[in-house]
Amino acid sequence: MQADRRRLLKAGFLALSLGAAQLARGANLLAVRIWPAPDYSRVTLESDTALKTTQTFIASPPRLAIDIEGMGLNAALRELVGKVQASDPNIAGIRVGQFNANTVRLVIDLKRPIAPQVFTLPPVAAYAHRLVLDLYPSEAIDPLEQLIQERVMAKAPAAPHGLPSTNAVVNDPLGELIARQTLPGAAPAPSTRRQDLLPPPAVSMDRPDHPARPQLAPGQTDRLIVIALDPGHGGEDPGAIGPGGTREKDVVLKIAKMLRERINASSVGGSPMRAFLTRDADFFVPLHVRVQKARRVQADLFVSIHADAFYSPRPQGASVFALSEGAASSKDAQWIAQKENKADLIGGINLGSQDAQVQRALLDMSTAAQIRDSLQLGGSLLREIGSVGKLHKPRVERAGFAVLKAPDIPSVLVETAFISNPEEEEKLRSDAYQQQLTDALMRGIVQYFSRNPPLARNRSL
């Protein structure tokens, strides 16, 4: 089987059958969806029974053909054709046709070389059976390059008006970022500033294949403080939905983008700050990928932003969570962690992909130091959020959130409010409250750094 597959791959195409067990005659398509994003574009076909498909990938010009057995051309499939957006980074177009009496053929024309992942998902939450076509660029997007690009874009329009932040000009954080990029996983650059003249970290974030530290040119000495912001859910996973129809995934993305603006205009102890979003569009990012991305950009902090529903409409107020490797600090905390950890099932990940398994296992090595710092960060955020709104619990709660498992980054999950509470849903929608909340989170982050200078935190790891 493996040899066969290799032979087919060599021939330039890959054919995979999803197996007779999933055969469905006369399956009905219930919905079709496309989620375009630079990371990957996803096409979802939702049906009342599992679809039997055969896929063929043709490298030149790049296109993916999917044959669906037991189905005729129908309105939903035709609708899919019109759903492709011109701005889709990966999909150029979709064609559908009746291949033979019993089979419909879908051809996805691609804009660039793609490594497709085709898999099915059993019914979960509000979804019936799903056939998922994930179209990953063969050359994966590097989060660090993305951060650099954002930096370049941010600097470009500001220059003619003389308005770039002074730190950006003086410290050239871009140079430092590029240095990090050349040595992925390398420890933060050495600095000549007084507060940074500390012994190197006892345990650095070096990886075995990149043991060296970057050598920076004179002048490229300042360290850029990177804050990973993680808007929860996205794409197939709407998160919680308020009684008025507000979707958690939309509200948290808006707040994360507002906070990004604040962070990018700020500095700590003379070092410029930079926000990195684990997603800045409406697509699903698996939980372990969120953590991976934050580690790739060597984030100093990881803040996951949510606005969940509770099992009853009454609870209100914000909560902040840190990781617990053992029991949760309360039943509520455990309930929320279990709910959040289901995101991968609803958002849909390819469990058959070996990479996903390996990467998830790698994250089971959190340290006591990470949790201690996360509790401090959580405390700072909670104090500030408490000054603009109600708190659900007066202290940082703890539970086994998958997304908080970066062993080397203080990580917290903020439930900004309960979207299931009609009043809180209203607040979450209001610009004024979004602004207050963003300001509070910003103050909390700054406060944390004033007590825990970035290198002191690294040193303790």
d(CA 421, CA 437): 17
Binding part of the chain for Zn ion, among 50-58, 157-165, 303-311, 358-366 by CB under 5 A, reads 303-311
Answer for which of 62, 188, 232, 235 binds Zn ion (CB under 5 A) is 232
Is 306 an interacting residue with respect to Zn ion (CB under 5 A)? yes
Binding mask 101-130 for Zn ion (x = CB under 5 A): ------------------------------
Nearer to Zn ion, 226 or 399 (CB): 399
Q: What are phi and psi for residue 459, nearest 5 degrees?
A: -65, -35
d(CA 322, CA 328): 10
Q: Point out which residues pair with 124 in neighbouring strands.
A: 127
Pairing of strands 63-69, 53-58: antiparallel
With vertex at residue 333, the alpha carbon angle to CA 405 and CA 342, rounded to the nearest 5 degrees, is 60
Q: What are phi and psi for residue 276, nearest 5 degrees?
A: -125, 125
How near is the Cβ of 233 to Zn ion at its closest, in Å?
6
Size of the site for Zn ion (CB under 5 A): 4
Binding mask 27-66 for Zn ion (x = CB under 5 A): ----------------------------------------
Residue 128 CB-density burial (10 A; 0-12 exposed, 13-18 middle, 19+ buried): middle
Residue nearest to Zn ion (CB): 306
Is 308 an interacting residue with respect to Zn ion (CB under 5 A)? yes
Rg (the chain; Cα; Å): 23
How near is the Cβ of 362 to Zn ion at its closest, in Å?
24
For residue 355, what are its two tokens? 């990479």
Nearer to Zn ion, 59 or 241 (CB): 241
Answer for which of 36, 116, 137, 239 binds Zn ion (CB under 5 A) is 239
Is 143 an interacting residue with respect to Zn ion (CB under 5 A)? no
For residue 318, what are its two tokens? 């914000």
Binding part of the chain for Zn ion, among 141-149, 207-215, 306-314, 441-449 by CB under 5 A, reads 306-314
Residues 6+ apart with CB under 8 A from 370: 323, 406, 407, 408, 409, 410, 411, 461
Is 290 an interacting residue with respect to Zn ion (CB under 5 A)? no
Binding part of the chain for Zn ion, among 78-86, 107-115, 162-170, 300-308 by CB under 5 A, reads 300-308
Is 260 an interacting residue with respect to Zn ion (CB under 5 A)? no
Q: Which residues bind Zn ion (CB under 5 A)?
A: 232, 239, 306, 308
